[in-house]
Structure 1
């Protein structure tokens, strides 16, 4: 062992007059650990939220959406689908009719709400999105028992079935089996032209769409593709084509290929292939900006902790001035002295970074691990007595018996681990009333291992830089003046 490492390790230990410095060293290690753990945890939460929203959107939306610039209907869509399917990265294609319609309420003879209508082929839609996975009820939009029952009971034409967003259904006050009247068109009254007569299409509610994505659950209704074409008098025509790819990240490149591959006539206009990234760009850009800002702010904790390291070393230099003079007199160079104090500060930074990484990863695991936990009162009852016992042991046993130090330290860490296991549980956004804001019921956690390595390197580098000035100050002490220092 080089003598710099030996002396640095002695300075880090608690010995009589230097015990105060060692306590400050422990506080410095704790500060670095807290900063690193906080950055890792916050980053994992933000990454989890971003990935959770991304997965939620991709389960409900296509990777690429093809339509005309003016969103008009176009014919011969089967030919266009065949052209798109020739692209290697394309997994599935689904024709869709997207529109808006007003819900008519007979009791008040007025419009109750305006909703989005999505005309789909359930089989093809399931290949592009996870439509059936989110439906509570029937996905049979033409042959559901609810439809047959309504046709027998009611003396009116039933166009088909409709799957309503769960929150939309609650807002409209409808249940499965109820008939929903959609306004297709408004015609002038033959006698009084100032009055408008609604042209209605009747749909039976056959299920509820529960995607936990507010934009769909609050606003959308799903009907059969043929029924949508009939309702809008657009037989064999659609206005949108949904495309799913082998990898959602390929969407920008494939979108350009689709625009080149699919040809429309001059009368129809130019195609517009939009990716899921473009449609959700404002949301994900805001999340990335929030992540950058938050990580920068949290990284300041590590910077503040590094000031503790610098102050610890400065106090050590002041306390060990005579030792430095003795070392210089015995032949130690300025480089030897500088390395001595840099090693001391680097060890503090390394231990703080290591403990912080372990703590951060443990907290991430606890926040993502769903299991029944003991009450946190068990932790309180267990930790307090053991903590007191450890304090007593640290005072009376450790100076004489190092074996006891490791044994009691292990018990202390086990007690802290059990306390964390009891107290740190997955966070329910639904209980906090934030499920609609973040589009998910539980706070997601996703550890980015590249970022963990990066923050470890950054933390150690900041701590190492904090050692330079105190170490340089110690190296420049004059031996004679140092020996005369009181």
Structure 2
């Protein structure tokens, strides 16, 4: 009751009440800022992880010991391993894409329609065109940002140049071919939308010369003087793949799955790299950034806690005669401490609750608010070219929110101890001497 009366302002105590109100606002801003920033960073990590692992497998397996001509059998064997969701094979190479006097380096990945359907993120990202009849289309699929860079639309021809072309007496000549654009996709990640191009696997194998000429079964070795017709009749062309992407049920269980995949007797020898190895530096930097941001923003709450100390000290000075009267009426030192501890903790509690509500509301509408502020000010906030994503993601973690709330309440309570202890040490005689 007494603590509640001290929180309510009277005319002569209006200044102290204003200080207490500003302290509540400071705590609320600190809590809300911490919740919003941590939610955005969680969303940023989760969205990047979803995009990266939506196209690139949890494991990438490369062949060793012999040419990768048995890629279909290898995929079938890998998919039988316990814990493997699915696997896809592909052909990949680096080329120069050119159109309308513009050119840029891109990664071309050859995949058939059945494997593209397994990658639901890519399959559902087609904005223009579609994947129907993909294997026989002899066209390509490009990201919408790459289409903007090259000035391409659906049906236009894109020229791709492979520096490792046919061998001549004068050296290697570049291989240049044109393909129609059959699909324009939008994955929402700048890297994939700007630098990836897909084509059916057979044209990709032909373009990158991913094949091997081997003698037909039962065919005896030819005489060195055999004619071209005899050579063509004796040899058959066997296609190859570059690697296999393996998707597992639990992306965090890479250590156990690596041992399981490499020890499986039905699969050929493969060299595997997992997604954690490929993105170790990137995600480690994100984790360090989260910790640093949490520590720095916690200082806002700490500053607000110091404001609680200053406002309570002023309140104790103003209420010195009240404290003396209470002590002469029989109030113990513990009772005095509880009065001022409750007063300060209430300030922190109200501020924390207000910050919690504000932070959750802002975090839930982060992208809407970003778009509104960006359109109002005419300034690009969270530009996709820098942050890789086309929208501002947000993912609130209940555990982190609980930690933030507990931190704010804990600091608010600790901030009340010294002023409350000082109030409990007041001597009633000295306090009332000049009253």
Q: Structure 2 length as normaliser, TM-score?
A: 0.82
CA distance in 2, matches of 1:104, 1:48: 35
CA RMSD of aligned residues (A): 3.1
Aligned residue in 2 for 1:363: 362
Cα deviations across residues 293-316 of structure 1 (Å, max 9, x unaligned)?
A: 222222111111111111111111
Task: Specify whether residues 459 and 236 from structure 1 end up closer, same or farther in structure 2 by C-alpha distance, changes over 3 A only.
Answer: same
The residue aligned with 1:82 is: 76
> Closer, same or farther in 2 for the Cα pair 1:424/1:474, shift >3 Å?
farther
Match of 2:402 in 1: 453
In structure 1, the gaps of 5 or more residues are: 1-5, 145-159, 371-422
Counterpart for residue 477 of structure 1: 426
Please give the alpha-carbon distance, in whole angstroms, between the structure 2 residues aligned to 1:238 and 1:369: 44
Taking the aligned partners of 2:265 and 2:150, their CA distance within structure 1 comes to 40
CA separation of 1:334/1:352 partners in 2, compared to 1, >3 Å: closer, same or farther?
same
The aligned length equals 403
Q: Deviations over 1:221-263 (max 9, x none)?
A: 2122222233314234222111223343334432332223267
**Superposed, which structure 2 residues align to 1:79-158 within 5 Å?**
79-103=73-97, 113-135=104-126, 136-139=128-131, 140-144=133-137
Q: 3-state DSSP class of the match of 2:57?
A: coil
Does 1:43 find its partner at 2:38?
A: yes
| Aligned counterparts of 2:336 and 2:434: Cα–Cα separation in 1 | 17
1:12 to 4, 7, 13: 7
Paired position in structure 2 for 1:207: 183
Partner secondary structure for residue 130 of structure 1: helix
CA drift of 1:274 comes to: 2.3
Q: Determine the structure 2 residue equivalent to 1:31.
A: 26
Whole-angstrom distance in 1 between the partners of 2:206 and 2:162: 13
Match of 1:229 in 2: 205
Closer/same/farther in 2, CA of residues 36 and 198 from structure 1, 3 Å limit: closer
Which runs of no fewer than 5 residues in structure 2 stay unpaired? 212-237
- Paired position in structure 2 for 1:335: 334
1:294-309 to 2 correspondence within 5 Å?
Answer: 294-309=293-308
SS of equivalent residue, structure 2 residue 187: coil
- Cα gap change, 1:82 to 1:426, in 2 (>3 Å): farther
Q: Tell me the residue number matched to 1:183.
A: 162
**Conserved? CA contact 2:97–2:158, under 8 Å:** no
Give per-residue Cα distances to partners, 1:348-373, cap 9 Å, x unaligned. 11111111111212222343569xxx
Partner residue of 2:415? 466
- Classify 1:437/1:82 alpha carbon distance in 2 versus 1 (closer, same or farther; 3 Å): same
Secondary structure at 1:123 match in 2: helix
Q: What TM-score comes out, normalization by structure 1 length?
A: 0.74
